[in-house]
């Protein structure tokens, strides 16, 4: 009978050395080799997610599959290795399961392709050397060069715009919060000027008055900070889609932002506190 469909997977044509050039991990089995020729059994590498979903609890090495009709005749592929999942289409999530076939065994079936060069030094000099080689061997081919850094930067342009927009809103919100806190503390000091004058008249030092006002401002901020942390923890699952490579709950981020907010609070409260500490009891109570 007809083979049972296994599901959807990406299809890639690659050659020996591709995994090393791209920094991809070979988890099991072997890579493509020179012994894999058009006349030998066709081989394939599969991604870990595809191996786990297709052959759960079984060894994928040695399994056989057929992949659609992507590049010509339907060939039986012998699985020789398992590679790590990659984020090729999006940094937000890994690709679906992927099948990698050997270009040497299917040379006439690749309509377009990329040459990956792993080198040290200036990318411009490397691209010039590659361009010269291609010009001498296949001058009719249209070629476009991009470094992996450029490809990565282009792939995250939407995320960078969103994060930059969030950063602008965050700075504006921080300035508004600092201004509001300064106004609130100044109002509280003006309302309690008589009380502060009495404290000073009874022998309280300006330093103690300064500390009293600062403590009140910090207490207000700590309450707001606690509410903000709770909301931030609730939003981290959504925000993690914009922060590839960052843990969902990143302690350093929470600690640094909290420290920044406390520093802004102290700065916003300092001037009203100094003003309260410099109150002249005779002028206020007279």
Tell me the per-residue pLDDT of 96-112, one tens digit each, with 9 for 90 and over: 789 999 988 876 655 66
CA–CA gap between residue 22 and residue 138 (Å, rounded): 24
CA–CA gap between residue 59 and residue 90 (Å, rounded): 29
Give the bridge partners for 26, in sequence order: 83
Name the least confident of 117-121, 169-173, 255-259.
Answer: 117-121
Give the bridge partners for 79, in sequence order: 44
* Residues 193-248: tens digit of each pLDDT: 777 778 777 877 888 878 887 888 888 888 888 888 888 777 776 666 555 555 66
pLDDT of residue 140 exceeding 80, the answer is no
What is the Rg, in whole angstroms, of the alpha carbon atoms belonging to the chain?
Answer: 32
Distances (CA, A) of 159 to 152, 164, 166, 243: 12, 9, 10, 8
Question: What pLDDT shows up at residue 264?
Answer: 81
DSSP assignment letter at 16: T
Question: What pLDDT shows up at residue 260?
Answer: 83
Question: What pLDDT shows up at residue 108?
Answer: 61
CA–CA gap between residue 28 and residue 19 (Å, rounded): 13
Q: Sorting pLDDT into bands at 50, 70 and 90, what band is 1?
A: very low
DSSP, collapsed to helix, strand or coil, labels residue 198 as helix
Helix (H) or strand (E) holding 46: strand 43-47
C-alpha closest to that of 242 among 165, 174, 173, 171: 165
- Beta carbons within 10 angstroms of residue 102's beta carbon: 25
Q: What is the mean pLDDT of residues 138-165?
A: 80
pLDDT of residue 24 exceeding 80, the answer is yes
**b/e code 219-231 from CB counts within 10 Å (16+ = b):** ebbeeebeeeeee
Name the least confident of 57-61, 98-102, 124-128, 236-240.
Answer: 236-240
Backbone torsions φ then ψ of 147, nearest 5 degrees: -80, 160
Maximum Cα–Cα distance across the chain? 106
Question: What pLDDT shows up at residue 194?
Answer: 79
Question: What pLDDT shows up at residue 216?
Answer: 81
pLDDT of residue 179 exceeding 60, the answer is yes
pLDDT of residue 64 exceeding 80, the answer is yes
Question: What pLDDT shows up at residue 244?
Answer: 59
Q: What is the mean pLDDT of residues 73-92?
A: 82
DSSP, collapsed to helix, strand or coil, labels residue 136 as helix
Determine contact, residues 42/77, Cβ cutoff 8 Å: yes
């Amino acid at each position: 009978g007809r083979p049972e469909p296994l599901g959807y997977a990406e299809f890639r044509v690659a050659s020996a050395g591709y995994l090393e050039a791209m920094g991809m991990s070979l988890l099991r089995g072997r890579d493509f080799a020179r012994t894999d020729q058009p006349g030998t059994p066709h081989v394939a590498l599969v991604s870990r997610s595809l191996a786990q979903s297709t052959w759960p609890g079984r060894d994928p090495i040695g399994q056989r599959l057929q992949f659609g009709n992507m590049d010509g005749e339907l060939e039986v592929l012998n699985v020789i290795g398992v590679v790590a999942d990659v984020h090729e289409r999006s940094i937000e999530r890994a690709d679906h399961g992927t099948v990698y076939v050997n270009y040497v065994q299917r040379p006439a079936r690749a309509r377009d392709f990329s040459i990956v060069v792993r080198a040290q030094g200036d990318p411009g000099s490397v691209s010039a050397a590659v361009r010269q080689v291609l010009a001498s061997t296949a001058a009719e081919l249209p070629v476009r060069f991009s470094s992996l850094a450029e490809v990565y930067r282009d792939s995250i342009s939407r995320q960078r715009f969103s994060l930059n927009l969030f950063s602008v809103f965050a700075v504006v919100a921080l300035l508004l919060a600092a201004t509001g806190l300064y106004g609130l503390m100044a109002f509280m000091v003006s309302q309690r000027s008589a009380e502060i004058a009495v404290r000073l008249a009874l022998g309280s030092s300006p330093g103690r008055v300064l500390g009293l006002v600062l403590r009140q401002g910090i207490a207000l901020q700590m309450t707001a900070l606690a509410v903000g942390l709770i909301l931030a923890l609730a939003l981290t699952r959504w925000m993690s889609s914009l922060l590839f490579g960052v843990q969902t709950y990143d302690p350093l981020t929470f600690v640094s932002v909290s420290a920044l907010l406390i520093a802004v609070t102290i700065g916003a409260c300092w001037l009203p506190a100094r003003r309260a500490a410099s109150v002249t009891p005779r002028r206020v109570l007279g």
